[in-house]
Amino acid sequence: VWGNQVNIQNNIRIDNSFRQNNNYAYRPNAWGARPWWGAGESHGWHHGHWNYGYSGRYYSNRWYYHDDNDFAQGFMWGIAAWSLGNAVYNMGYQTYSNPYPAPPVQYNTYNYNNDGGGGAAPSSSKSAITYNEPVSVTAAAAPPGDEEQTKIAETKSAEAVDASRDAFKSGDYVAALKSCDEAIAYTPGDVTLHEYRGLVLFALGRYSDAAGVLNPVLASGPGWGWDTMVGFYDSSSTYDGHLRKLEDYVKGKPDGADGHFLLGYHYLVCGHMEKCYEQFAAAAKLQPADSVSRELRDLAKSSLPDDGSGATEESPASTPPPPVPVEKLVGTWTATQGAGEITFKMLESGDFVWAFKDKEKITEMKGTYGLNDKGLLVLTSDDSQMVSVISLPQDSELKFTLVGMPDGDPGLDFKKG
């Protein structure tokens, strides 16, 4: 896939795909029915996401590989899931829990493999998006139906969005929320509609609910740029009024992590990097379970203007880990992550199986693996690639860290068994 021929007997070439990320996943169902980076093609009102610069202060991890553009290129400005989609959660590399409750959205799911025969309508059942998982993960669990039904659903969703936008622009936010929920019910996998829902809740002054919707949205992809946000309003002054109300709410409730998180999000949309850093830092301190605020805090800090010193902070590491003999990788490795367990099998043939089991399901990824000439482990599966730094503290222990992650990323600790 993507030009790679990965086998432990071959020279391994790492492909850079999707904005020069070595670690990527490109499959619509892996991202949800509509991945965030395709939103501009799907919605005429969408004019882009966050795309701020980054510095070596954040992406200095594994700096000793940076002399070759084909290796160790970091993720784009963002967190791991923005590049890998829900693969980073499905594989168990990261776990997620939403620290802020959110009102669910009800929708119908259809079983087209059990249409009852004789032209009968397919069976349906009620489902709900609860925002307990990243929106991309939830969306992948609700794939679209057949082509005809998908087109009908998308048309009805677009009509509901238009009605919602008209109501929003006129200041009728209750009607806007009702039509927004209707649109999501037709296309629950459209991640950008969930971000719009967060905006409507913000306009209604339902700040805790807005935070509960936006946290799993930002665990899936970056937020809107200013042009997209302000386009929903009749004027920028109306948005400014809403923002001032949120600021007053946060000042009056300084111990509320949800308010700080939401204000940090809006400051980031507006490009106020220092202010958003302060808000995400406050949210992360008040709510340790808010992993999104913690990562966005670090991202915002890395994107602050240079202090003029011209110095770039680097990782304290001075030498790369010693190369791992490929024959020592063969076998079955296990690691725990949160409440789940990862089983990673590497075969002599060059094939691998990665399985993550949590309390609800088992997710498997299969493909081929190999080491490149710098000792990086390259895992290639259908439409995805993961590149990691590995080391063997002992023959029965494997340290696995995705390339391009920020300094301090704990990675995974496997044991051979």
Q: Mind listing the pLDDT tens digit for each residue in 329-358? A: 999 999 998 789 999 999 999 999 999 998
Element housing 389 (H / E):
strand 384-394
Residue 275 lies in a domain: yes
- What residue numbers bound the domain in which 129 lies? 105-302
Question: What is the mean predicted confidence (pLDDT) over 164-170?
Answer: 97
Which band of pLDDT confidence, cut at 50, 70 and 90, is reported for residue 176? very high
Looking at the 3D structure of the chain, how many domains does it have?
1
**Average pLDDT value for the chain:** 78
Question: What does the alpha-carbon distance between residue 6 and residue 171 come to, in Å, rounded to a whole number?
Answer: 56
- Distances in Å between the Cα of 191 and the Cα atoms of 134, 148, 225, 416 are 10, 21, 15, 39
**pLDDT at residue 174 is higher than 90:** yes
Give me the pLDDT at residue 81, please.
60
Place of tokens 């963002």: 78
**pLDDT at residue 31 is higher than 80:** no
Residue 247 lies in a domain: yes
**pLDDT at residue 118 is higher than 90:** no
Lowest mean pLDDT among 69-73, 80-84, 367-371: 69-73
Residue 369 lies in a domain: no
The two three-digit tokens of residue 185, written as one number: 């019910």
Question: What does the alpha-carbon distance between residue 211 and residue 250 come to, in Å, rounded to a whole number?
Answer: 13
Residue 330 lies in a domain: no
Give me the pLDDT at residue 143, please.
58
Give me the pLDDT at residue 127, please.
78
Select the more confidently predicted residue: 224 or 160: 160
Give me the pLDDT at residue 215, please.
95
Give me the pLDDT at residue 61, please.
45
Give me the pLDDT at residue 136, please.
72
Residue 45 lies in a domain: no
Which band of pLDDT confidence, cut at 50, 70 and 90, is reported for residue 14? very low
C-beta neighbour count of 75 within 10 angstroms: 26
**pLDDT at residue 307 is higher than 70:** no
pLDDT one-digit tens code per residue, 262-282: 999 999 999 898 999 999 999
Closest CA to 334 of 396, 383, 409: 396
pTM of the model as a whole: 0.76
- The count of residues in the chain is 417
**pLDDT at residue 119 is higher than 80:** no
Phi and psi at 333, nearest 5°, equal -120, 145
Select the more confidently predicted residue: 366 or 34: 366
Q: What is the CATH number of the domain that holds 253?
A: 1.25.40
pLDDT one-digit tens code per residue, 382-400: 767 788 899 999 999 999 9
pLDDT one-digit tens code per residue, 309-328: 544 454 455 466 788 999 99
pLDDT one-digit tens code per residue, 244-258: 999 999 999 999 999
**pLDDT at residue 9 is higher than 60:** no
Residue 280 lies in a domain: yes
Give me the pLDDT at residue 216, please.
92
**pLDDT at residue 195 is higher than 90:** yes
Residue 16 lies in a domain: no
Question: What is the mean predicted confidence (pLDDT) over 179-195?
Answer: 90
Residue 156 lies in a domain: yes
pLDDT one-digit tens code per residue, 214-236: 999 998 878 888 888 999 999 99
Question: What does the alpha-carbon distance between residue 182 and residue 336 come to, in Å, rounded to a whole number?
Answer: 40
Select the more confidently predicted residue: 258 or 2: 258
